[in-house]
Amino acid sequence: MCGIVGYWGRSVEKGLVERMAARIAHRGPDGSGSWTDACAGIALGHRRLAILDLSSAGDQPMLSPCGDYVVIFNGEIYNHLDIRREMEQGDRAPRWRGHSDTETFAAALGLWGIRGALERANGMFALAIWRRSTRTLTLARDRMGEKPLYYGHCGSTLFFGSELKAFGAHPDWRPEIDRESVARFLQYNYVPAPRSIYRGVAKLDPAHFVEISDPYAPLPNSVAYWDISSAARAGLAVRHEQPDDIEHRLHDLLRDSVRIRMAADVPLGAFLSGGIDSTLIAALMQAQSNSPVRTFTVGFAETAYNEAEHARAVASHLGTDHTELTVTPADALALVPQLPAIWDEPFADSSQIPTFLLSKLTREHVTVSLSGDGGDELFGGYTRYVDGLRTWQLLSRLPLPARRVLAEAISRYPKPISAVAECVLPARLQVAHLADRLPKLAHVMRVASEQEYYRNLVSHWRESDSVVLGTRQQSGGNSMDFCAQGATMIDRMMLTDMRTYLPDDILVKVDRASMAVSLEARVPFLDHRVVEESWRLPPEWKLRDNVGKRVLRSLLDRYVPRALIDRPKMGFGVPIEHWLSGPLRDWAEDLLSEERLRREGFLDPAPIRALWSEHKQGRRRWHYLLWDVLMFEAWLDSHA
């Protein structure tokens, strides 16, 4: 794993691109390199975290054997040895200097071109390629968006790299905050691609590459070399029907995905929460290892947030070498001021805190860790799929005008309605914190389409454009515009999450948390072969009888007793609600002060102060919305 950075402009200084790369030294503490072409005005910088081929033969920037391509690469190509063997069958086989995957990819460029090399690569990566003969720059990103890549203009310079903070060392870097991006951040708790927090700077979409021939011209459109919607459409057209075939094929693919991600010349382990996804990954690792696999978990003193005992039981059954850390509230709270610097853009998924603490613990023992992320999106694991479908089916039975009248009543009287429900409904139908949930229900009752319904379901500040000053009203992102024969509403919800929530939230969280401590995190569920196979599964093998991930549960029965993992889903969260009323109250009060908000001029203080007042008084639970604002304000403090 590594960090990449570069710029293309009128003047080139080798020391400048090296200073830019130094800003992201955490992504690559094992070495650095740079390459410049003063005549062309291009500069490439690299920070190396050595995983495969620890020798100097893996140093970057790397020149292709044909001499035409210069490559800087962040990530891993897991099938690079297969690609080497394919190249060695021809009469133009390269003469290898080492055994790094970057050298493999650089050689592939000369044989098959950029698109041909990308289509053969199975991995996670973000890369920049300078072609000397044509003076063109190509930027590319892996299929599912595991590795980040920003690019765009600031002044007369084109910037590109792994993290925005790297650009800050360049004298031309004077970015302007994009207010529309702030609105989208408040809506989703992350800045959705292709936006970034800065005007004129974009995130390259997953599975895309962009070829730039003029650094001063408007940026060309990027091109897809793989498409998740096409993969979904192809899978739905040939959905399997034989359960034995489903399990056998998926098991083989997952086993192989784990196997190739265990290749490393450094110590390796796995995150283990004790849930279905991480347990299956750890089990497949242990089944293919000659020694106990290292597994890691963090636990919390608060019982409602603690999965450590479940992870411990799984580790004991599998026979892994398990390490556990109990995190105190003081440990977690001490991290809060560091969050803006780590995530580099406003980011408000509060599970970033335990993810970072887990990464930090893991890095004390290993350099690479496998993760169970992606299982929920691929196999129907989120409760919102079940609850969302059930709610929409009920709502859609009512005419829209009737729904809107009912929604108005719910919005006006959430507490009385909640009190009546608590008295009337049996215990099995009781909903925790119903008064806080009713306004969200009222909001989705007003929508006219399935697409708008799901966008509202996953939104935080649904009226974010009215909170961010100087923005235009727009729906923004998270579109369910997918049509395919046999597609269900749950299929559309999962595909929406694969295109948005997964790369822009989950994978951003994992990348920044792990890279901040120089740990490489690998995600076997996101092998594109597994993703494509997941779309061939009949819907009942994902969700049936209100239970998700049915096929993963069935696979896991081969390795652990069902009793070890058969429990309600627990999110990887922290007690933000209680912290804002306790140890973080003064910090929050300062960031949410009316005078401060007015002085900055980005957010309307009135709705924010109203929510903060209700939360402090214990009248309503607004911690999720407040955390979004607090993370923007904390980011603004450290970046503006």
- The predicted-structure confidence for 346-378, as pLDDT tens digits, reads as follows 999 999 999 999 999 999 999 999 999 999 999
User: Does an H or E element contain 69, and which?
Assistant: strand 69-77
Read off the pLDDT of residues 416-462 as tens digits, 9 standing for 90 and up.
Answer: 776 666 676 666 555 666 666 777 778 788 888 888 899 988 999 98
Choose the final residue of a domain: 518, 542, 564: 564
The pLDDT of residue 442: 80
Q: Are 439 and 548 members of one domain?
A: no
Residue 72 φ/ψ, nearest 5 degrees:
-120, 135
Nearest to 72 by CA among 18, 120, 116, 16: 18
Evaluate whether residue 488 is within a structural domain. no
Annotation says 423 is catalytic: no
Q: Are 42 and 137 members of one domain?
A: yes
Q: 3-class DSSP state for residue 5?
A: strand
Q: Which residues are annotated as a binding site for ATP?
A: 298, 371-372
The pLDDT of residue 544: 87
The pLDDT of residue 571: 62
Q: Are 194 and 333 members of one domain?
A: no
The pLDDT of residue 425: 61
The pLDDT of residue 426: 67
Evaluate whether residue 465 is within a structural domain. no
Q: How far apart are CA 299 and CA 308, in angstroms?
A: 5
Q: How far apart are CA 283 and CA 561, in angstroms?
A: 12
| Ranges of the chain with pLDDT below 50 | none
Q: Are 433 and 312 members of one domain?
A: no
Evaluate whether residue 13 is within a structural domain. yes
Evaluate whether residue 358 is within a structural domain. yes
Name the residue range of residue 630's domain: 576-639
At 405, the amino acid letter reads V
Q: Are 79 and 217 members of one domain?
A: yes
Q: Are 83 and 128 members of one domain?
A: yes
Q: Which residues are annotated as a binding site?
A: 101, 298, 371-372
Q: Are 328 and 395 members of one domain?
A: no
Q: How far apart are CA 640 and CA 629, in angstroms?
A: 15
Evaluate whether residue 569 is within a structural domain. no
The pLDDT of residue 107: 95
Number of domains in the chain: 4
Q: Which residues are annotated as a binding site for L-glutamine?
A: 101
The pLDDT of residue 285: 98
Q: Are 175 and 155 members of one domain?
A: yes
CB burial of residue 609 (10 Å; 0-12, 13-18, 19+) = middle
Choose the final residue of a domain: 183, 203, 226: 226
Which residues on neighbouring strands pair with residue 140, listed in sequence order? 127, 209
Which residues on neighbouring strands pair with residue 326, listed in sequence order? 299
Choose the final residue of a domain: 226, 246, 276: 226
For residue 117, the domain's CATH number is 3.60.20.10
Which residues on neighbouring strands pair with residue 196, listed in sequence order? none
Out of 2, 66, 423, 483, pick the active-site residue. 2
Evaluate whether residue 571 is within a structural domain. no
Q: Are 129 and 263 members of one domain?
A: no
The pLDDT of residue 467: 95
> Tokens 């919005």 label which residue?
411
At 240, the amino acid letter reads H
